Structure 1
């Protein structure tokens, strides 16, 4: 009976360790840390149907990918990006958005990037 109790205790310790490690390395935690430290971070799945999140200079953006055909393959051909909170865009300049475009195009070279409001209007002026 004591060996069963030891086994359950050992199992509980391993489960607790696994849960703590999983919580520490979640993508939302990484995104929040990068946002607080004003770093660039792009969190994306290989699944085209899922949106991606990125942060740059304290602002968080969401992006939606659309697949289509290129020369001989199906690839991401269009990406729509919008800020999660427009108030966090304060202090950003056009070069910041061009930098974000460049970083996204490194992952999706065939994509056309479409910014949604209010960034779209800002870039047109």
Structure 2
């Protein structure tokens, strides 16, 4: 009986050990699956972090491009302002040239008017001189 019990006990022990080894292998496979899932989750998190870093780099590049576009627009506004100033200087030079031309024209008219007045004065003087001469001649004849 003791032998039976011992044999049976021994057999039961082997079976229990086998069951325990199977359970341990299942637990090990479970832990391995859990480690795999954790590695997958970590890869996913790292992928998400990298994606977010790339998005942030893209946002920075876009902000940089926008700053460059704004600088370009500002430089263009400055160039346009300078072109407008140059156009205004050109217009002012044109106006000054026109005013000078007008003044010269006025001076020429004035000189012409003075010459005409002088000629008229000379003609008047000649007429006066002629009248005087005629008057003198008349007086001379009368005497």
TM-score if structure 1 supplies the norm length? 0.30
Highest RCO, 1 vs 2 (Cα 8 Å, sep ≥ 6): 1
TM-score if structure 2 supplies the norm length? 0.27
More helix per residue: 1 or 2? 2
More strand per residue: 1 or 2? 1
